[in-house]
Structure 1
Amino acid sequence: MSNEGVDEAGWDLEPGDESAPLVEAVGRLVRFCREAAGMRVAEFGEALGYGEDMVRKIERGARIPRPEFLDRADEILNAGGHLKAFKEDMEKARYPKKVRELKALEDRAVELMQYSNHNIQGLLQTPEYARALFEMRQPALAPDVVERETAARTARKGIFEREPAPTLSFIQEQVTLERPLGGRVVLRRQLEHLLDVAQLRNVTLQVMPTDREEHAGVHGLIQVLKFADGTAIGRCPGAFNGRPVSDLRDLRILELRYGMIRAQALTPRESLAFIEGLLEKL
């Protein structure tokens, strides 16, 4: 049995993950269907193309089964679609808890403001760019973790397809558009993607030039999400001890700083022209 097949069976469940009860329930269902079909673990694993140990991990809820695993298991065990029915739930469960929580907030937001000073903001990243970032982490992340984090970040892009569309404002430091993280091909595709996203009517994209003598973003990145009920949540690593804030006074400070950065940055039209110029040089 190849290691590649084993690794592709699923993802390890994080300790204390709130999805654990559901994952365990699906594991018990897999076991029930296998036993009802009269198959031993080794026989079932061989039919699937996975190792016996991996099947046992899934059945006891220690590993999140991939959608492909559930598809194949449903067919082999003649489960009548009962295993396939949990594919979407298992896909969501594999994302890290912090990403699921962030996505839940983004799914509710009617307005988002994001200033990024180190790399391209997560919602704007192509899968290739995101993967390159995770592969650069030190200590190095395991390949399975890189894949999981990349898929989780890509899944958040549903915010661009929502109806009614939220108002999205992004400001990127010039250096984030010039540093070829992942290589020049990855950067080219990333810049082309930015130009495509900037064409959406609900999206505003601006560039903060490096040569500005005044800059309100010295505290680092800023993120503010506003919701339909009038509440909001914001974050800035360089302020409020790095913790998320929802107090009106604290939010006002973040909005003030963001507004000043937006005024100091290139206009949206100038920003698109700047990105097009960078593409011509690649």
Structure 2
Amino acid sequence: MQMSVDNEGTARKDHTTDGADGASWGAEWDDEYAPVVRAAGRQIKLWREAAGLTQEELGQAIGYSLGMVSAVERARRLPHPEFLAKADEVLGAGGKLVAMKEDVAEARYPKKVRDLARLEAEATEMGSYNNHNITGLLQTEEYARALFSMRRPAHSEDDLERYVSARLARQEIFTRKPTPTLTFVQEEVTLRRPLGGRMILRRQLEHLLEIGQLRHVEIQVMPTDREDHAGMGGQLHVLKLRDGTAVGYSEAQLNTRLVSDPREVQLLELRYGIIRAQALSPRESLAFIEKLLGEMT
């Protein structure tokens, strides 16, 4: 994670929660996964040369372009699992290229997303308040794709797929054991804004109803007509970790501010507790979402 310093001189860690924004728009191979990316490309090149094939010949044999094979070997592009499987078979690698599949797959996710996923993996409780779109953990694939497609500067098709895959991978938090307690508060406007189109929103609302039935998940709606609202400072997230500590983070345009100071975390927890108290109850919220669905027919 990148370190930043606020105006009081306190060091904090910054990262984006969706992996879509940041100071650099290039490949992020400058972290601990850089050796994985380089090793994958080097191994493919060595096996190709040992087989006496050119990059173009390998590409034709496995159904990929010369440019893709070249980019993979130079560690400019990550090979898809299918690429590794086909190359392994064509080059007679005996499973040695396929064995890199899991490490390469994890390296596909932006570092910023891996940082957040590691925090979520340690969480026993997590609370999330969102005010401009459905939070990432609750998004359907097509809703997430629509959001990333709206980003400016525009993402390339490869980056778009990378970010969508990373977001969906984080959703394993709903099925992992032991199950954490997950609570979400969504502003009413996020349930009405048809990002990507009305059908995408409809399926997103249906997904919320399904997730909301899980015993360890509570989804609440903050009605727009509330006259008292503790969330005017923006969206926030709080996590309680296995070691008993707690962290929080709040999002801005380009970066997320990760908070570990106990006093500040306590403040975020207080605000989140009040926000939940001001919102509709989980039962009322699911009924509210069902009502919205009825209005769309």
Alignment TM-score, normalising by the size of structure 1: 0.92
Q: CA RMSD in A?
A: 1.5
Does structure 2 retain, via aligned residues, the 8 Å contact 1:13–1:20?
no
- Matches of 1:132 and 1:43 in 2, distance apart? 37
Residue equivalent to 2:231: 217
- The answer to whether the Cα contact below 8 Å between 1:13 and 1:94 also exists between their aligned partners in 2 is no
Query: Shift of the alpha carbon at 1:32?
Result: 1.6
User: Which of 276, 279, 283 is the equivalent residue of 1:265?
Assistant: 279
Alignment of 1:197-216 (within 5 A): 197-216=211-230
Percent identical pairs in the alignment equals 61
CA shift, 1:15, in A, is 4.9
Equivalence for 1:86: 100
User: What secondary structure, in the 3-state scheme, does the structure 2 residue paired with 1:158 have?
Assistant: helix
- The one-letter amino acid of 1:155's match is A
Instruction: Between 182-191 and 143-152, report the one with greater CA deviation.
Output: 143-152
Cα 1:209–1:94 change in 2 (3 A) is: same
Q: What is the DSSP-based 3-state SS (H/G/I as helix, E as strand, rest coil) of the residue aligned with 1:274?
A: helix
Q: Which runs of 4+ in 1 moved over 4 A?
A: none
Q: Is the 8 A contact 1:110 1:165 kept in 2?
A: yes
Correspondence 1:277 to 2:291: yes
Distance of 1:182 and 1:242 partners within structure 2? 25
One-letter code aligned to 2:43: L
- Following superposition of structure 1 onto structure 2, how do residues 1-282 of structure 1 map, counting pairs within 5 Å? 13-237=27-251, 243-282=257-296
Q: 1:13 and 1:66, CA in 2 relative to 1: closer, same or farther beyond 3 A?
A: farther
Equivalents in 1 of 2:50, 2:277: separation in Å?
Answer: 66
Unaligned runs of 5+ in 2: 1-25
Look up the equivalent residue of 2:270 and give its one-letter code. L
Structure 1 residue 157, shift from structure 2 partner: 0.6
Q: Compare 105-114 and 60-69 and name the one that shifted more.
A: 60-69
After superposition, the C-alpha distances for 1:114-155 in whole angstroms (9 at most, x for unaligned) are 000010000000000000101111222222221111111011
Cα contact 1:13–1:64 (8 A) shared by 2: no
Cα pair 2:184 2:218 within 8 Å, conserved? yes
Provide Cα deviations, 1:17-73, integer angstroms capped at 9, x if missing partner. 431111111111111211222222221122122222321221222221111100110
Aligned-pair distance for 1:242? Answer: 5.9
Between stretches 15-24 and 96-105, larger displacement belongs to 15-24
- Aligned partners of 1:72, 1:132: CA distance in 2, in Å? 31
Distance (whole Å) between structure 1 residues aligned to residue 130 and residue 114 of structure 2: 21
Q: Is the 8 A contact 1:209 1:265 kept in 2?
A: yes
Larger helix share, 1 or 2: 1
Query: CA offsets per residue over residues 161-185 of structure 1, 9 Å max, x none?
Result: 1111000010000000011111111
- Kept in 1: contact 2:131–2:234 (CA 8 A): yes
Aligned length: 269
C-alpha distance in structure 1 between counterparts of 2:70 and 2:153, whole Å: 30
Change (3 A) 1:172 1:148: same
Q: Deviations over 1:94-121 (max 9, x none)?
A: 1111001111111111110100001000
Distance 1:47 1:130 in 2: 34
Q: TM-score, normalised by structure 2?
A: 0.87
Q: What's the secondary structure of 1:31's corresponding residue?
A: helix
